[in-house]
Amino acid sequence: MLNKKVKSIILAAGKGTRMKSELPKVLHTMFNKPLLGYVLDAVNKTGYINEHFVIVGHEAEKVEKYVKENYENAKCILQSPQLGTGDAVNKATPYLKDFDGYVIVIYGDTPLITAETITNFIEFHENNHADLTVMSAIFENPKNYGRIIRDKNNKFIAIIEEKDVTPEQKAVKEINAGIYCINWKTVSDAFNHLHNNNAQGEYYLTDIVKWAVEKNLNVQSYILKNNDEIFGINSKIHLAQATKILNKKSIEKFMEEGVQIIDPDSTYISPETTIGPDTIILPNVYITGKNTIGKNCKIGPFSHVRDGAIIGNNVRIGNFVEIKKSIIKDNTNVSHLSYIGDSELGSHVNIGAGTITANYNPISKIKSKTIIKDGANTGSNSVIVAPVTINEMASIAAGSIITKDVEAYSLAITRSPLKIFSNWVKKKIEQLSGGNK
């Protein structure tokens, strides 16, 4: 256990101009989860941090809405106007007036950061009795990054932005990763001494390092092991690149746990999904959100499993199937070209090809539930209009539209009588040809 309590300040006020979007940068998603959510989850999972201050600015109400709906231990603080990263952190100082502990400062657009790294970072800070610790990284090509400058005794003395470095400093490969651990009681006064005498007229967070060095405080740097974790999202290109990095990591983890993924390059699976061993994922499967998939299942190809799916063992999900917010119990098959949404399927259920659970009323905006109990089956091209229950061992005839509950062991059919008109095609051809054969 740590000797101090820990809180976090998450910088999420920027517009993200290069995203070319009206949506705030931190609300852009990977696997349907906002970038800010990945950062908040990472700091929460350390087990050390129990309160977060999210600094908002551009489209603040949208970011605050997301935070309020998903994180009870986070508070949004408005930065307006936006006068730099130092000013952003300073907005939280009234809420930390009597705080005697550590404060983690982190950007809300770094979704690849992990709880393990943040935990190690905090523990490094405490074990070294640091007043201020900066996370750093070693880059072979450190272009555009601020450099960590040390004296001849290897003591951390400054962060110098690339535009200001000397030719000798430009060769330094250790860069500022932009994450800080601050002993708040000893360093918070730095925010009263920041200056904006620069071309941008902004208050820079990096200036607290200079202040701490001048005060002869203990300034340390923690060198990151995996540089991917500080990948910041500034464009849609970055977003796609980060998604691939995250997906590759997830795919490899699943395969190490016994999941067979036929084509990792065409398969996307959210890291919040769990999958049992011996399950086979066929090419072009896309799984987003938080889902549970059992063992010995077969999914795809070209299937889409959305957030909130709980899939049992020995389940077969065919090609071009979409599953959303549904429970599917053991030994059930959902055949190709089907949609199962807001539903509960029992065990040994067979869903025929092209079956649709019609769960959404576009007028009332209400989504209703379909229940299909053990052993029931639907014929091809059935439409199950929720709310409705299909009881045990019931059978739905192909092409039927079901709008009422179906009792156990019964057959439900809504099919118009078949009519066959002999020689109808032949007569049409003769009419079109004017009677000439």
CATH number at 206 reads 3.90.550.10
Give the integer Cα–Cα distance in Å for 370 and 390.
8
Task: Give the DSSP letter of residue 327.
Answer: E
pLDDT at residue 165, rounded to an integer = 86
Give the integer Cα–Cα distance in Å for 15 and 57.
8
Give the integer Cα–Cα distance in Å for 184 and 98.
9
CB atoms near residue 165 (< 10 Å): 16
Which of 168, 203, 230 marks a domain boundary?
A: 230
Is there a domain that residue 431 lies in? Answer: no
pLDDT above 70 (res 435) = no
Is there a domain that residue 422 lies in? Answer: no
pLDDT at residue 65, rounded to an integer = 98
pLDDT at residue 144, rounded to an integer = 84
Same domain, 161 and 140: yes
- State both tokens at 52: 């977060």
Which of 202, 230, 258 marks a domain boundary?
A: 230
Give the integer Cα–Cα distance in Å for 25 and 28.
6
Q: Helix 60-70 vs helix 35-45: angle between axes, to the nearest 10 degrees?
A: 40
Is there a domain that residue 337 lies in? Answer: yes
Q: Is the dihedral of CA 169, 171, 177, 183 positive or negative?
A: negative
Same domain, 171 and 316: no
pLDDT at residue 198, rounded to an integer = 79
DSSP assignment of 146-187, as one string?
Answer: PEEEE-TT--EEEEE-GGG--HHHHT--EEEEEEEEEEHHHH
pLDDT at residue 416, rounded to an integer = 86
Which of 195, 230, 265 marks a domain boundary?
A: 230
CB atoms near residue 10 (< 10 Å): 27
Is there a domain that residue 428 lies in? Answer: no
What's the distance, Cα to Cα, between the start and end of the chain in Å? 94
Is there a domain that residue 433 lies in? Answer: no
Residue type, 113: I
Q: What is the mean pLDDT of residues 65-72?
A: 97
Task: Give the DSSP letter of residue 199.
Answer: T
Residue 383 β-bridge partners = 356, 401
Residue 222, phi then psi, degrees to nearest 5: -110, 115
Is there a domain that residue 420 lies in? Answer: no
Same domain, 246 and 221: no
Same domain, 169 and 287: no
Same domain, 221 and 296: no
258 neighbors 297 (Cβ within 8 angstroms): no
Q: What is the mean pLDDT of residues 363-376?
A: 96
**Of the candidates 380, 295, 292, 318, the residue with the CA atom closest to the CA atom of residue 304:** 318
**Of the candidates 25, 115, 100, the residue with the CA atom closest to the CA atom of residue 63:** 25
pLDDT at residue 415, rounded to an integer = 86
Taking the CA atoms of residue 248, residue 252, residue 258 and residue 261 in that order, the dihedral angle to the nearest 10 degrees is 40
Same domain, 181 and 195: yes
pLDDT at residue 132, rounded to an integer = 98
Domain count, the chain: 2
**Of the candidates 435, 393, 398, the residue with the CA atom closest to the CA atom of residue 413:** 398
193 is catalytic: no
Same domain, 112 and 149: yes
Distance (Å) of CA 180 to CA 114, 194, 229, 300, 370: 15, 16, 14, 44, 50
Same domain, 219 and 241: no
Q: By residue range, what is the domain housing residue 298?
A: 236-412
Same domain, 223 and 240: no
Q: What is the mean pLDDT of residues 54-69?
A: 97
Q: Which of 58, 129, 336, 348 is catalytic?
A: 336
> Half-sphere exposure (CA, 13 Å, Cβ side) for 293?
35
395 neighbors 377 (Cβ within 8 angstroms): yes
Confidence of residue 3 (pLDDT cuts 50, 70, 90): confident
Point out the least confidently predicted range of 48-57, 163-172, 307-316, 384-393: 163-172
pLDDT above 60 (res 291) = yes
132 neighbors 216 (Cβ within 8 angstroms): no
pLDDT above 90 (res 201) = no
Give the integer Cα–Cα distance in Å for 423 and 362.
43
323 neighbors 293 (Cβ within 8 angstroms): no
Give the integer Cα–Cα distance in Å for 229 and 222.
14
Tens of pLDDT, residues 142-199: 888 999 999 888 889 889 888 888 889 999 999 999 999 999 999 999 999 999 887 7
Average pLDDT over all residues of the chain: 95
Point out the least confidently predicted range of 133-137, 362-366, 378-382, 392-396: 362-366
Is there a domain that residue 399 lies in? Answer: yes
Give the integer Cα–Cα distance in Å for 167 and 171.
7
pLDDT at residue 161, rounded to an integer = 85
pLDDT at residue 436, rounded to an integer = 62
Same domain, 265 and 383: yes
Is there a domain that residue 342 lies in? Answer: yes
Q: Could you tell me the pTM of the whole model?
A: 0.92
Find the length of the chain: 437
**Of the candidates 71, 5, 6, the residue with the CA atom closest to the CA atom of residue 33:** 71
Same domain, 342 and 240: yes
117 neighbors 129 (Cβ within 8 angstroms): no
Q: What is the mean pLDDT of residues 362-387?
A: 96
113 neighbors 228 (Cβ within 8 angstroms): no
Same domain, 158 and 23: yes
Tens of pLDDT, residues 207-249: 999 999 999 999 999 999 999 999 999 999 999 999 999 999 9
Confidence of residue 437 (pLDDT cuts 50, 70, 90): low
